[in-house]
Amino acid sequence: MFELNIDDTNIFSTKKDPQTGNHYTYKKFQENSQVEVHDSAGKLLYEGPYNSDADKASVPDKFREFIGKLYSDILLKKDDQ
């Protein structure tokens, strides 16, 4: 499941990883981006900013690839709107 909500300055997207059951969330409010990862029970596994290259590099390896794909999906869907 891929959910995407966009308005003039805000973006909210969530996607479930079918392999792990983790839920990935990307939020952008004005110029500040944030990512969150929750397990299938809702426990927060990771939360952090997602603005700079350093922020993106600080995401734990086990979550980085899926968050990168989620972010790419958002950019593609946003361009379609």
| Domain-wise residue ranges, the chain | 2-80
Lowest mean pLDDT among 2-11, 17-26, 31-40, 66-75: 2-11
Structure tokens that stand for 14 in this block: 């969530």
Per residue in 16-63, pLDDT (tens digit) is 999 999 999 999 998 899 999 999 999 999 999 999 999 999 999 999
- Position 3 scores a pLDDT of 84
67's CB contacts (< 8 A; 6+ apart) are 24, 26, 35, 37, 50, 59
Q: Which pair of structure tokens corresponds to residue 29?
A: 């409010």
